Amino acid sequence: MKMVLRWFGEGNDQVPLHHMKQIPGLEGVAWALHDIPAGEVWPLDKISEIRKQADSHGLNMDVVESVNIHEDIKLGLPTRDKYIENYRTTIKNLASAGVKVICYNFMPVFDWVRTDLYKEHEDGSTSLFFEKSIIENIDPMKLVKEISLNKNYSMPGWEPERLKYLTELFKQYEGITEEDLWDHLQYFLEKIIPIAAQYDIKMAIHPDDPPFSVFGLPRIMKNKADIRRLLGLVDNPYNGLTLCSGSFGVNADNNVAEMVREFSDRIHFAHIRNAKTFGNGDFIETSHRTSDGTIDIYEIVKALHEEGFTGYVRPDHGRQIWDEECRPGYGFYDRGLGIMYLWGIWDSLVRAGKETYHVTN
């Protein structure tokens, strides 16, 4: 596997690249041009600048996370063709810089939902928390207002410039069903996958986070059945998946290791995140160590190893520890620990395989 770390760009990330480079086994960054609004073409000069920054520290920039999908595409509006053509141009521009994978999602309005950014654990660390009853009983516009007042809150999908249009967006989604969203995704993929294949860039859809409806909005990437349907919409190896253990794994019905084994040839990128889930539907994100949560990280990594996975992996959200000031979910220290935990599992599996080979041969 190839280990990368989410990076928000110079001046937009508390972690400089030369600190990232000091993590053993880290090969690259998963990056994006966060200042480019969804639907606009990513300019070659800005892409080239990222290339220079990554190269100067010996890191690859093979994975883009994310090239966001304009809402008009998800809504199936007549204007979608303009934004799809822009997306095709962005794919070409990214290919010129050597990008290999584009992570994206098809979640309406919000890329993800949590109710507490700094929920405290018993040890004093904090992490992202989801309280299901709040989401089920709160007016989403009230939640948006509270988040807008929190100046420390800055995450993809919740940018201030997007929040001010939410009332209009919710009205547009009235009457949009999951079947409508599937149709709109298929239309998008039929236009995008041929150009992605031509330029050798794999498209990797991220699952819904969390993997069930929030605020009455349709969700279509929640489980195995949804993955099978996605891969069948355009049956092409360039139409693939970002396997996120934390997104799928908070639903106890989803066995993430089984997903790895069934879809390994179409997993182009993997997010490894742990969480502790509760019977009432709440969950809190934890360290990556298997015993700290309810998602079996060991079995997921084992499945990736057994399937001969050679794609890209990153530790996903971590805790905030050691009084670090950082964007919620993206503590550098805990993600660094996560990388070493993942490599520890992987290296032990590699060694066990070699020992078995010597014994049987």
Give, in order, the Cα–Cα distances in Å from 263 to each of 209, 231, 259, 269, 307. Answer: 19, 9, 6, 12, 10
Kindly tell me if the per-residue pLDDT of 214 is higher than 60. Answer: yes
Q: pLDDT digit string (tens) for 20-69?
A: 999 999 999 999 999 999 999 999 999 999 999 999 999 999 999 999 99
Whole-structure pTM value: 0.93
d(CA 350, CA 340) in angstroms, rounded, equals 15
- DSSP letter string over 155-188? -TT--HHHHTTHHHHHHHTTT--HHHHHHHHHHH
Name the pLDDT band for 355 (thresholds 50, 70, 90): low
Kindly tell me if the per-residue pLDDT of 358 is higher than 60. Answer: no
Which pLDDT value is given to residue 50? 96
d(CA 318, CA 320) in angstroms, rounded, equals 7
Kindly tell me if the per-residue pLDDT of 156 is higher than 60. Answer: no
The residue among 240, 314, 321, 213 whose CA lies nearest residue 271 is 314
Kindly tell me if the per-residue pLDDT of 149 is higher than 90. Answer: no
Q: Residue 12 sits in which domain range?
A: 2-360
Domain with 242 in it: what CATH number? 3.20.20.150
Average pLDDT over residues 113-131: 93
Average pLDDT over residues 284-311: 97
- DSSP letter string over 229-260? HHHHHS--TTEEEEEEHHHHHTSTT--HHHHH
End-to-end CA distance of the chain: 26
Whole-number percent of the chain with pLDDT over 90: 80
Which pLDDT value is given to residue 72? 96
Per the prediction, the chain carries an average pLDDT of 92
Name the pLDDT band for 97 (thresholds 50, 70, 90): very high
Q: pLDDT digit string (tens) for 171-199?
A: 899 999 999 999 999 999 999 999 999 99
Our count of domains for the chain comes to 1
Q: What is the DSSP secondary structure assignment for residue 108, as one 8-state letter? A: S
Kindly tell me if the per-residue pLDDT of 261 is higher than 60. Answer: yes
